[in-house]
Chain A
Amino acid sequence: MKVSYYPGCTLKTRAKNLEDSALAAFKALGIEYQELDRWNCCGAVFSLADDDLIHMVAPVRDLVRAKQLGAGTMVTLCSMCYNTLARANELMKHEEVKRKTINDFMNEEPDYFGEVEVVHFLSYLKNQIGWGALKSKVQSPLGGLKIAPYYGCTLLRPKDVAIDHPDSPTLFREFVETLGGEVIEFPSSTVCCGSYQALGNPEAALKVSFDILSDAVSRGADALVLTCPLCDYNLGRRQDDMLRKYEGAKDVPVLYFTQLLAIALGLSQEVCRFELNRSSTARLLKSRNLLAGVKA
């Protein structure tokens, strides 16, 4: 089952920990993949203006590249890229007039009709690998580590691209349980992290992110697991600002779902790149002997 793989810009720079752990997991799970040989930024945010078609050109061009590779499925890791690409794909599938405008504008590329399926890796794990098969590959189960799975917005909204039920998703829970972790359910798991407000209104973003983390911690989470470099920026990196600003703020380990997967699959610690996470993350995992089973 060969798939094409769309990485996304941040995964090649600041979020190498998301990509490297995922690629190692692809291998361990026998997923044959090919990174798109040419790709551009996915567009980063799906434009909500109805007639803003120029911002569809970037994601559609990536979809055209996937089609040119001949792969029916294109897997993404970053949920933001997933959202932008999947929504552009929906538009190209269903909105005839806009599709024609975009295809006419991109006259140097073959016409595109939404032939490629955009799939987030979490869905791929459930639907193509299967939880049973994944479980059989787990080498170091997470030993009851209390994990709060954080979906954020882009995996669940809008509902035509949601990877699960938008209001009561269970996919992430199933994933963590398959790896042997204990799931901490918390109401904020689908609340927005503040997203790009980190630029325009950093204080407001900080507050919502702090509330999300506090919610998870108050329910006993050891760590938060997520799927998006921007969420990681707000909920991970910006904890330094929270620790300064909010009394009683705690340092919460935050990691990508692919890092959790790599640990459970017993993959080399090197591919997890924990140096790019908060230092509390590796500390926590070490204290639970979860890095011990990992092949050095």
Chain B
Amino acid sequence: MSTDAQEVTAGVEAKLIPIYVMGKRYDVPDSLTIMKAIEYAGYKYIRGCGCRGGVCGACATVFRKPGDYKIYTGLACQTVVEPEMYLTQIPFYPANRAVYDFGSLTGRPEEIFALYPELFRCVACNACTKVCPMDVEVLDYISAVKRGDIEAAARISFDCIQCGLCASRCFAEMPQYHIGQLARRLWGAYLTPKAEHLKTMVANIQAGRFSDGLSGLKAMSQDTLKKTYQDREMEPATGGEDWTPKDRQYL
């Protein structure tokens, strides 16, 4: 395998370091992400890999380092390998998502309590926060839910990518990330103020205010459409709050 490596990285000084994937040693270039290193070692992903950009949560990985009792985590697609690390990916961790009819909810904290009564088993051990590869303060949003502060829960859990590692470590056996998701849904749908101007806009669309404009665009030849697009009036980077375009027929 090391001959292959030299061929692949011809001309590049790649230092090989040992890592242990599910307990088996592989020597991999030290600049690779865990995901690339696993592929380099010969594995082919059919699960545990999605966006490769650090946002889908498919590639949660747990690892340890020699001489250190701590559990480390990271997203395989984002985390660079370290010498002697022992790792495994956890593409999925069972966590029950409560079944609810979202339309019949109203955004009261008691609705979350009823769907996830295990919330109250939390002992604030903080293992969830420690394990989160996104540095979300998981305990803090769970605590916020317990005291009925759905907005705080939604805000604190905002960066969650649902990888499931919190649930894997939970002393109280909670599915934190589903609870956070429900909080964000309730907050978004029922607790944030409604955008009043949206109603007017929808009514305008339904009344056909933009129909002519759209059919006009549709009827254009490709060249005219391109030219129209290129000549469009753009909001200048310095345009302030009160900037309006010259053509105001659709405002």
Main SS at interface, chain A: loop
Closest Cβ–Cβ distance, residue A231 to chain B (whole Å): 19
A43 to B126, CA, bound (A): 14
- Which of A24-32, A51-59, A245-253, A288-296 contacts the other chain? A51-59
User: Within A30-57, which residues are at the interface with B (CB < 8 Å)?
Assistant: 38-41, 43, 54-55, 57
Flag if A41 contacts B126 (CB, 8 Å): no
Asked if A120 is at the interface of the complex by the 8 Å CB criterion, the answer is no
CB-CB < 8 A to B139: which residues of A? 40
Tell whether A61 pairs with B126 under 8 Å between CB atoms, given A13-B109, A40-B139, A54-B171.
Answer: yes
CB-CB < 8 A to B171: which residues of A? 54
Flag if A9 contacts B146 (CB, 8 Å): yes
Asked if A12 is at the interface of the complex by the 8 Å CB criterion, the answer is yes
CB-CB < 8 A to A39: which residues of B? 143
Q: Which residue of B lies closest to A108 (CB)?
A: B130
CB-CB < 8 A to A57: which residues of B? 123-126
Flag if B109 contacts A108 (CB, 8 Å): no
Closest Cβ–Cβ distance, residue A223 to chain B (whole Å): 28
A91 to B34, CA, bound (A): 44
CB-CB < 8 A to B140: which residues of A? 38, 40
Flag if A12 contacts B147 (CB, 8 Å): yes
CB-CB < 8 A to A243: which residues of B? none
Asked if B122 is at the interface of the complex by the 8 Å CB criterion, the answer is yes
CB-CB < 8 A to A10: which residues of B? 147
Asked if A276 is at the interface of the complex by the 8 Å CB criterion, the answer is no
Most chain A CB within 10 A, of B123, B130, B140, is at: B123
**Neighbour of A54 across the interface among B125, B137, B142, B149, CB < 8 A:** B125
Asked if A106 is at the interface of the complex by the 8 Å CB criterion, the answer is yes
Q: Which residue of A lies closest to B108 (CB)?
A: A13
Most chain B CB within 10 A, of A38, A41, A54, is at: A41
Q: Which residue of B lies closest to A10 (CB)?
A: B147
Give A contacts to B, CB under 8 Å. Answer: 7-10, 12-13, 38-41, 43, 54-55, 57-58, 61, 106, 108
Closest Cβ–Cβ distance, residue B119 to chain A (whole Å): 10
Closest Cβ–Cβ distance, residue A41 to chain B (whole Å): 6
Flag if A41 contacts B124 (CB, 8 Å): yes
Asked if B91 is at the interface of the complex by the 8 Å CB criterion, the answer is no
Known: A54-B123, A57-B125. 19 other contacts (CB 8 A): A7-B147, A9-B147, A9-B148, A10-B147, A12-B147, A13-B109, A13-B147, A38-B137, A38-B140, A39-B143, A40-B124, A40-B143, A41-B122, A41-B124, A41-B146, A54-B171, A55-B123, A57-B126, A61-B124
User: Within B157-207, which residues are at the interface with A (CB < 8 Å)?
Assistant: 171
Q: Which residue of A lies closest to B149 (CB)?
A: A12
Closest Cβ–Cβ distance, residue B112 to chain A (whole Å): 11
A9 to B126, CA, bound (A): 18
Flag if A58 contacts B149 (CB, 8 Å): no
Closest Cβ–Cβ distance, residue A209 to chain B (whole Å): 23
Q: Which residue of B lies closest to A8 (CB)?
A: B147
A93 to B126, CA, bound (A): 22
Closest Cβ–Cβ distance, residue B142 to chain A (whole Å): 8
Most chain B CB within 10 A, of A13, A40, A55, A57, is at: A40
CB-CB < 8 A to A9: which residues of B? 146-148
5 contacts across the A-B interface (CB closer than 8 A): A40-B146, A41-B147, A57-B124, A58-B123, A108-B129
A58 to B139, CA, bound (A): 11
CB-CB < 8 A to B129: which residues of A? 108
Most chain A CB within 10 A, of B146, B149, B171, is at: B146
CB-CB < 8 A to A13: which residues of B? 109, 147-148
Closest Cβ–Cβ distance, residue A39 to chain B (whole Å): 7
CB-CB < 8 A to A7: which residues of B? 147
A54 to B127, CA, bound (A): 12
